[in-house]
Amino acid sequence: MSAPERIPPRSVTTAELLARGELTVRGQIREASNAVLHCSVSHDGQEALCVYKPVRGERPLWDFPDGTLAQREVAAYEVSEATGWGLVPPTVLRDGPYGEGMCQLWIEGVPGSELLALVDAEEPEPGWRAIGLAEVDEGRTALLVHADDERLRRLAVLDAVINNADRKGGHLLPAEGGRLYGIDHGVTFNTENKLRTLLWGWAGEPLTGEAVEVLKGLRETLGPSGALARRLAVLITAAELDATRARVDALLDSGKHPEPSGEWPAIPWPPV
């Protein structure tokens, strides 16, 4: 059986395909904590692979309202698109075989792109950024590091805006053409500070000029009459939208990457 036609990420055709195409379940991704179905989607002679996460398959969480993770995934995509960085695969909210859920273009990761490592050293080597010490064996620790990569730095800014509570290594997908995508954004946009990530390597350092300009654009489009604000208003609560605006303002006011608050575990574990 031939593979489905590969659809260019972020195109209008892709969004229409995901939103209106016929979903066919091919299998389930078993290691996921919530129901994650590997599907194909076809519409008007085109076909692609995708991930479908039905709301009814979401496991309840103590700190997020039930049945809202799919909307948060779509909201993360909307913010990513507004930055112009295209860091989240095309994602829509739609009905499917098991009810309403999130549908996202399947991204085939490219092997051999090392972004995380454990090293027996006190300081990272050039080209790497320290995250923190990790216990690897009983009584032995190693330094957890991530690549000093501009794509990761952009993703760190996006995570700070959307308040990502679970940026693990397995949520980083290097793709063809040097692209990097982040996936699994269900635990985002909380009104409380819950930033938990592996991308702390730039904590406290000045934001790049590019990031500052992107944040200024987000501030404008998140205004009461802004296009992004209108799109997010149907996906997250008014309080969560206000908190997103406040995080953008805080980043611009400080001019720096955020640092761990100490009020919430800073690093997800296990890191992958």
pLDDT above 50 for 212: yes
Q: For residue 49, give Cα distances in angstroms to 39, 67, 139, 181, 256.
A: 6, 24, 44, 16, 38
In this prediction, residue 127 has a pLDDT band, given cuts at 50, 70 and 90, of very high
Mean pLDDT, residues 210-228 taken together: 97
Within 13 Å and on the Cβ side, how many CA atoms surround 225? 0
Mean per-residue pLDDT of the chain = 91
Mean pLDDT in residue range 225-249: 97
What is the predicted pLDDT for the residue at 9? 44
Whether residue 103 is predicted with pLDDT greater than 90 in this model: the reply is yes
Is the confidence at residue 68, as pLDDT, over 90? yes
d(CA 21, CA 19): 6
Query: How remote is the C-alpha of 179 from its chain's centroid?
Result: 14
DSSP calls for 84-152:
TS--S--EEEEEETTEEEEEEE---PPTT---EEEESSSSPPTTEEEEEEEEEETTEEEEEEEE--HHH
Residue 43 predicted with pLDDT over 50: yes
The confidence band for 64, taking pLDDT boundaries of 50, 70 and 90, is very high
Whether the predicted pLDDT of 12 surpasses 60: no
Residue 29 DSSP SS3: coil
pLDDT exceeds 70 at position 125: yes
Mean predicted confidence (pLDDT) in 190-219 = 97
Mean pLDDT of 215-239: 97
Average pLDDT over residues 70-96: 97
Burial class (CB in 10 A: 0-12, 13-18, 19+), 112: exposed
Percent of the chain at pLDDT > 90 equals: 77
pLDDT at 167 over 70: yes
Q: Which of 181, 154, 176, 156 is nearest to 73 (CA)?
A: 181
- Categorize the per-residue pLDDT at 231 as very low, low, confident or very high, splitting at 50, 70 and 90: very high
pLDDT at 252: 98
Over range 4-26, report the average pLDDT: 74
pLDDT tens digits for range 1-11? 344 444 444 44
| CA dist list (Å): 128 to 2, 122, 123, 172, 208 | 40, 12, 9, 16, 18
Average pLDDT (201-210) is 97
Q: Which helix (H) or strand (E) holds 43?
A: strand 37-43
